[in-house]
A and B are shown apart, each in its own frame.
Chain A
């Protein structure tokens, strides 16, 4: 199983600012994903972080708002840009290796004030 370290675990940010969330895995993984989970809701995929190329975004999410980096097979960042209170949520990174389960980071609880 993969061990995923995600930070920060929580943050309170002013509207209009940006926050970068980091996800570090203890082994090389093929797939890394970023999810948003609003209170009491399911997991919504934001994008797939691709190593060496631009991330693949799901409908409703754009690169300008959620830029993603994936410099190598063990690390990725998600930035939430120009934040508004509607961006308040839990953000989770997840990794997958081939045809196996998804492992999740501990999540980042973001509050925008």
Chain B
């Protein structure tokens, strides 16, 4: 089955700096890669996603890149703000399966 690895497990950045979280996957059939943000005590919520026919996607301060050959994808947050502090999960899904495979999470702290 699919194996999604996520690094780093914790990340601290100064406000205004950039944060990068990386994930790798093992199943070449995976074609959908969402990123979720989970604030303390709340449900995971989608912040951005990318499909395998696209190499990069950007939404304001958030961007995701995908390298299909290397089987890795990354989340980039620029101009970080304290409200970006949360746990971020990457995930993958194949076009034939119904299950999402989640990474182990990255706890991001933005220091004011």
Q: A43 is contacted by which of B44, B45, B93, B95 (Cβ under 8 Å)?
A: B44
For B99, the chain A residues whose CB sits under 8 A away are: 33, 45, 48
When the two chains form their complex, are residues A106 and B42 in contact, meaning their CB atoms are under 8 A apart? yes
Residues in B with CB closer than 8 Å to A41 are: 104-105
How far is B86's CA from A7's CA once the two chains are assembled, in angstroms? 24
The contact size tier of chain A is: 20 to 34
**Chain A at the B interface: mostly helix, strand, loop or mixed?**
loop
Question: CB within 8 Å of B: which residues of A?
Answer: 30-31, 33, 40-43, 45, 48, 92, 94, 96, 99, 101-107
16 examples of A-B residue contacts, CB within 8 angstroms = A33-B99, A40-B107, A41-B104, A42-B102, A42-B105, A43-B102, A45-B99, A45-B100, A96-B100, A99-B93, A99-B95, A101-B34, A104-B43, A104-B44, A106-B42, A107-B43
